[in-house]
Amino acid sequence: MAFSPSSVPGFFPLLIAIIVILQLQSYETQAGGLALPLRTQKLQSLSTPHPPSKLRFHRNVSLTVTIAVGTPPQNVTMVLDTGSELSWLLCDTGPLSQFRPRASSSYAPIPCSSPTCKSQTRDLPNLSSCDSATHNCHVSLTYADASTAEGTLVSDLFLVGGPPARRTNLRCQSSPSSAGDTTAAGMLGMNRGSLSFVAQTKTSRFSYCISDRDAGVLLLGPSNIVPLNYTPLVQISLPLPYFDRVAYSVQLETIRVGAKTLPIPKSVLLPDHTGAGQTMVDSGTQFSFLLGQAYEILKDEFLRQTSGVLNPEKGYVFQGAFDTCFRATQLAAAAAVRRIPAVVLGFQGAEVAGGGGGGGGVLHRVEGERRGNNEGVWCFTFGNSDLVPMEAYVIGHHHQQNIWVEYDLENSRVGFAPVQCDLASRKLGVML
C-alpha cells in the first residue's frame, strides 16, 4: 500500500489492486528505456516459467511485479508501490515465500554497524535496532491496525530486464505484512526515499499505462510515447507530522463533474500547517480518496447528476470508505454508465479524467453482493478519507486507466496524457 504508518496515522489498507507478472523478454525503446508488456493472467500461473522481463497483470489484490532476485536468480512476486520506500520480501516462510536466502550466494544481511542501519528515512524513523544474537540490523514497523511487520535489513542482487544486476537493500521478513498484499512475496518500494528501489538503482524516470482491459505496459527510463502534460511535485522541506515528503505529491486544484466545476474552497485542497491534505499519485491503491469536505461536495453533485439514472443502495459502505453505492442489474448498469458524467481532477498544467470515456470508470461492482431481481451492488470509486481515516487525497491506479503516467524524478514532476494503451504500447513493439 502507498502509506506508511509514519505518514498517514490511522490508515488501514484496502486490499484491492492489480497483479503484474514479470516475463523473460524486454523491449529496448529508441529513447533508451526498457518496455515491459503487461498481460492478464491469474496468480496461479506464477509457477509457470516465463522470460524474465515481460510483465503481465491480473486484477486481484495488489499491483505486483515478479522479478529475479539473488544468485542464481529466483523469481519473486512483489507489490509495485510508488508510495512506499523500503522494499521487503518473505523469506523461507512456507507456501507464500518465493525467496530462499540460503540459496543465493549474493545475499548479505546488513550489520548493525552499517550507516544504512542508522539512517533516518521514512521507513526507518528510529525503527531499526540491533539483533543481539546475530549483530544484524533489525527493522520493525507497527501499522494502524496494530499489526507489526519486522525482519532483517539485507541486500541482494535484483535483475530487471537484463544485466547488470543491481544490488538493493530491503527487509527480509518471516510473515506477510497486513498492510500489504497477503498473496505477494514482498513489496517493491518505488517512492523518492533514499532506500526506495528507484533511488538505489538510480532510476530517474519510469512510467506505465493501464488499459481498461487490465493489460498495459510498464516502462523504465524515458518514454517519449505521447506528449505529456506535467504538474510539479509539491515539496515541503520542513518535517510535518502528516506530510509525506518522499511521496509523489501534486497539488489538486479543481474537481469537475461533467461540465460543472465543484465549489470547493481552495484552502480545502491545500495541505494545512500540519501537512494534512496533500495529494498523492499512488500505484499501491486501487481507488481514489478525498478528504471529507471535498468528498461530500463531490458526492452531492454526482448524486444530483445521476438522479433517475442509478438507484441508491442506502446504508451500504464498501471497504469502510465508499458510502456512495447503487443497485442495478448488469444490463442496467451498462446502460447507466453511458449516461454517467466523468469526474475530472485538475492540477497545475494537467488533469486526470475518470469515467465518461476518460481514464478509468467511476463505478465498481462489489464482488459477492447480490440483491433481488438479479441486481448487484455498484459503488462510486471515490472514497471518503475521513472514514478510513487518513489525512490525504489519493489518486489510485483505477483512475489512471488509459492514461500514460510518468514519474520524472530528475525534474520533480509527474506527467499525464490520455491515450489508448493498446495503441501506445504498439509504438514500443508491445502487443497487448
The residues that are catalytic are 81, 282
Contact 49, 43 (CB under 8 A): no
Amino acid at 196: S
DSSP 365-380: EEEEEEEGGGEEEEEE
Contact 181, 393 (CB under 8 A): no
3-state secondary structure of 170: strand
Contact 268, 386 (CB under 8 A): no
**CA 430, CA 432: separation in Å to the nearest integer?**
6
| CA neighbor of 350 nearest in space, from 192, 265, 226, 222 | 226
**CA 210, CA 359: separation in Å to the nearest integer?**
9
Contact 388, 190 (CB under 8 A): no
| CA neighbor of 386 nearest in space, from 298, 294, 307 | 294
**CA 124, CA 1: separation in Å to the nearest integer?**
17
DSSP 259-278: TEEP---HHHHS--TTSTTE
Contact 415, 248 (CB under 8 A): no
Q: Using CA atoms in the order 396, 399, 400, 403, what is the torsion angle rounded to 10 degrees?
A: -160
| C-alpha distances in Å from residue 170, one per residue of 89, 114, 115, 187 | 7, 14, 14, 9
Which residue pairs from 297-301 have beta carbons closer than 8 angstroms and sit at least 24 positions apart in sequence?
297/255, 297/262, 297/263, 297/264, 298/255, 298/257, 298/262, 298/343, 298/382, 299/324, 299/380, 299/382, 301/257, 301/260, 301/262
Longest dimension (CA), the chain: 67
Bridge partners, 280 (sequence order): 249, 394
Contact 63, 284 (CB under 8 A): yes
